[in-house]
Structure 1
């Protein structure tokens, strides 16, 4: 009797597998990101998409998993329907996931689960908008949903935060102060700014949550060329980043006690912005380039060379980079964009940096030439100390800003903070 049952179960399993074999190829064809057939004994795949931009932005979403900003299964279900290079398909897939997770947040009663769902919905709506052309009519509504979900998440999770606007020509700059737990006043204040494509709210998942868990207070802000300052006020990037950074710090210190130390961290292009600000503001006690961004002019020259190749010019990587550059820089074409970026070089001001400096870098950064880390180190002739961490492929942190391996750079950063400012 038992053997008969086993045979029946085996037969049912075989029929199920046969049916799946018939339907899955069609489903993959109808889907939009088919993976190559695996040969017997083949190893796993190390990428989600062939194009670096789509692969990198998938890693960006997954980087937030440890901090409650995404779930791996939700991300994988989302990207399997996306065609590489299809910005509209990317938007539709991530919006669908955001809608589903937002509905989950609205029907969930448990506060932690509810707040977590709002936080993930925020990140999925942010990701959905990311690759759309700057003038796409869907951007404003998607942006508002992203922002709305974020603040609902903070309120539901009970995350203490103070929103304020720093006076600045052309409008004002948004900032959020996240006071740490008891004892945080005896530790350095972490001041954190994003980069070329950052928004104020996403900074919570990138660093604030991890810092708060370790007892630190964090001040985040967005400057010209970022977030609301770009979208609603039309403020574009400027090389003299000491101006917006100083405006935010002025506004904060007007209503808060001076911290024991202030450590400025700049993410991505913030690897230029933060050191530039520190060179002109002695209220900054330490600076972190997360990651190296020593000479943006050189990077822009490389993009112009790419444009000479018709195939490269039509790639998703080039299209997104140039669209975002013209939008955030307020430039009209490739050459004016290249010229505008020539002012973004740290070499002329690096000797003014006297604070301790932490430089982070990925060995396979697709934005920044590898030699720029050594160039930055050599230029810091008057820094109190210079510490460099380069993450290789084996570590999992070789990508720009260690995307996909956030815990690696966190470990390096918080150890440096403890050692340097104990």
Structure 2
């Protein structure tokens, strides 16, 4: 597919919502209109165009709500939330851009307004966690609001939000009859933007608090709780399953046994010797400066490693980032996973290259689902064919959770 947006990074961010079209989170014409509005503009123009699109939908949603058109109002509020969520990706970084915080506030307000409409309104909740609370939404499957059903807990990765996860994953699961729980953990959404809480590798501690919260609900079947993670969540979810054993299954999309291995490969590509890869904090000032010069010269790499990486991990230089990434591995603990694992691997997704390690280490606990270019699903997180991804994953979960199943 050719570029919709002139700038490559804008195109990466701006076409992400294409995946949400089948689930009501976007429409192609609206995305294309935003792209035309941005034109050759900068990050500020990208932000403004998406905010204007979201504001337009909110205005229409409010009119629909006032006229009693609840279905339309709900759809418009939720879609506006997705557009606000798209607006601020180029603004990532520390210190936090005030425009990001404003857009995130609009996103949350629109999402909450949409979920509040309907026969069974969904209200935000808070999960006690250490000395703070995590934002969360327990959304019952339509038609099963008072029924005990299996639950899928969805966890994000580096830069997606609850809104993104709702459209990319939860809508399909809700239609299938699964209750869904969405939350922000450390380093994600509200926890990063407003509370300045960085990411942490011990995701089992985070998920333990989330499961404690979930099982208190009378509509949740405590024997059929699934944890599903996408993007970096494809590492965080199995990491959580290594220490939280109330899970009936875990989904890793894509499966990433060791983020640390990818970071070491990147360091090696930059010419770092093995002894520095073993101890990134020992990196010389000269090597650190050379790497940063290369990173700053590549807009995509600069965004991933500096704007996002430094901020999300709460670090201030490349040495600290490599040291932080070194902690994200299942080596030595992954074998503790006791539940079935559904692992995805898209053909062109570099993060999926090590997905086969799960089968090597965990044997028949693992189902590996491969996705290809020929199916239109060969890119990161199968974003150009989420319907295929969701169908195959949910079919497998149906099998795993079926009464009497031992698969």
Could you state the TM-score of these two structures normalised by the residue count of structure 1?
A: 0.82
Per the alignment, residue 355 of structure 2 pairs with: 373
Alignment of 1:350 onto 2:334: yes
> Which among 20, 31, 44 is matched to residue 64 of structure 1?
20
> Which among 131, 139, 144 is matched to residue 100 of structure 2?
139
Q: Secondary structure at the match of 1:219?
A: strand
Alignment of 1:329 onto 2:313: yes
Tell me by how many angstroms 1:88 deviates.
1.8
Deviation string for 1:93-131 (max 9, x for gaps)? 211212222222222332222221111211111100122
Count matched residues.
Answer: 374
Per the alignment, residue 171 of structure 2 pairs with: 209
Would you say the 8 A contact 1:223–1:229 is kept in 2?
yes
> Which among 360, 381, 384 is matched to residue 344 of structure 2?
360
Alignment of 1:275 onto 2:246: no
Alignment of 1:55 onto 2:11: yes
Tell me by how many angstroms 1:176 deviates.
1.1
Alignment of 1:73-152 (within 5 A): 73-82=29-38, 86-108=42-64, 109=67, 110-134=69-93, 135-152=96-113
Tell me by how many angstroms 1:49 deviates.
4.9
Alignment of 1:236 onto 2:198: yes
Tell me by how many angstroms 1:372 deviates.
0.5
Per the alignment, residue 126 of structure 2 pairs with: 165
> Which among 100, 114, 122 is matched to residue 153 of structure 1?
114
Deviation string for 1:264-304 (max 9, x for gaps)? 10111111111011111210111100122222123334555
Q: Secondary structure at the match of 1:138?
A: helix
Would you say the 8 A contact 1:116–1:157 is kept in 2?
no
Alignment of 1:244-323 (within 5 A): 244-256=206-218, 258-304=221-267, 305=269, 308=291, 313-322=296-305, 323=307
Per the alignment, residue 282 of structure 2 pairs with: none
Q: Cα 1:227–1:312, aligned 2, differ >3 Å: closer, same or farther? A: closer
Q: Secondary structure at the match of 2:92?
A: coil
| Cα distance in 1, alignment partners of residues 176 and 166 from structure 2 | 14
Query: Greater Rg, structure 1 or structure 2?
Result: 1
Alignment of 1:401 onto 2:360: no
| Cα distance in 2, alignment partners of residues 302 and 89 from structure 1 | 35
Tell me by how many angstroms 1:253 deviates.
2.0
In the alignment, structure 1 segments of 5+ residues that lack a partner are 1-44
| Cα distance in 2, alignment partners of residues 285 and 243 from structure 1 | 17
Would you say the 8 A contact 1:170–1:235 is kept in 2?
no
Per the alignment, residue 41 of structure 1 pairs with: none
Tell me by how many angstroms 1:400 deviates.
0.9
Tell me by how many angstroms 1:203 deviates.
2.2
Q: Secondary structure at the match of 1:287?
A: strand
Would you say the 8 A contact 2:173–2:179 is kept in 1?
yes
Tell me by how many angstroms 1:312 deviates.
5.6
Tell me by how many angstroms 1:47 deviates.
4.0
| Cα distance in 2, alignment partners of residues 378 and 55 from structure 1 | 36
Taking only aligned residues, the RMSD between alpha carbons, in angstroms, comes to: 2.3
Could you state the TM-score of these two structures normalised by the residue count of structure 2?
A: 0.85
Would you say the 8 A contact 2:223–2:246 is kept in 1?
no
Per the alignment, residue 279 of structure 2 pairs with: none
Q: Cα 1:183–1:49, aligned 2, differ >3 Å: closer, same or farther? A: closer
Tell me by how many angstroms 1:61 deviates.
0.9
Q: Cα 1:290–1:421, aligned 2, differ >3 Å: closer, same or farther? A: same
